[in-house]
Chains A and B, each alone.
Chain A
């Protein structure tokens, strides 16, 4: 069995948010026991609404925030068990692209300085070799090499994101965490950047952890997807299967929120609209965390945390519906939706 590029086991991230006033610390449980696996060169999409903890996972994987517990392994190297100072040498193998290219590039550095920095830190190339590499990567991300002398504020959002991608890819890392890489960009620019990411991945063979709330983006980019709700992964599996036959009501709700361009199909599709707000992470619901907003919630959902059930067509979902109530037994939640529309 080959070593996975990234393996995350039972990751917990908690923030200390002060005491209740009675001496007890209050913890915000942002990520609650998440496990994932990404093979070399693979893309895993991580979706969920804001506040679901998906970006936190990305940051914790790179140890940009300290995980509370759990283990992260990068191609056999332990990321979490080593002192913070040791993580720096691992940065050569894992990089990150941030959401907002307007704030993730230092305004006082030229493009050349920004792109040379990773090379200065991680390689001992000569100045000339570094400049050649910078010219090469600029061309690869579709920017004119003459732009190297300019400052970030002279560029558009899409161009800046190209620079940010170049900065992450210039040392050819094994893993790149893409934290909402296109959600700050215009729709017309988004597809260009996504195509660029795909092209670069084909060349470099890097694995991507793609964090996004846009399901269309994730479907385009990644063959495998994990759905997060309130700090937990509720469903995981091949993108096609999750989109067509979701095994968890939350995935079904997310997917039914994607608009169809065709109004007839739009009306025909059983929409699953969630009510209420995302519960507080300070005081998550007992049992299944989704039960307060789930249209199919049963008594058992409040009592027990749902088991992870294998779903037909690949992947797993954490939901009681498969063993209790309608006993979907690995089938699609869609059958419940059509039943509701008909009744």
Chain B
């Protein structure tokens, strides 16, 4: 058995999410990702079940494992007690550890996940910040959200949910530094920092340099669409 298969089978998420699969399709039937992408959670389960190292690596390099929206609609009805969403959690971490995530367009989006959810947590103790929900990135929130965004502080006070208070249990509060230190210590000790670092490193390896990673990041910040960044290979093909 291959090394990655072994590693996958050690993952508790995989152990809890994967019993033998009946291939009945109950999961795919109600999967929101299957409705919009070329994706079937049943197929993912099947590929894992083959325990074929090459097939697994191909899966880890593909967009497929990143389509799942983690809604767990697949989970409550599986007649074998499997959870494809849980298996996806294991596959994604494996893909990140080995840098395979950077091979796919959807996988490369992990850089934003790391720099938004991950770094927010380390800086503020929250996965999302009020300043992340910009009208530019969330145009669907509409014109009243634009107004709110311009008057964020006053609006929150008006609603009775003042933000960024210190030493308060309030909304969007400033978490005391001693608590933040505990949080960071937990992130370090449990391997989350290592996982986040693997994302930066994987991106650097794929894009060629730290500078290119920053270009990719800036492209996303400025245009809200990472597809505006051209990979070296794609650039050469254009020529």
Do A and B form a real pair? Answer: no
Residues of B at the A interface (CB closer than 8 Å) are: none
Residues of A at the B interface (CB closer than 8 Å) are: none
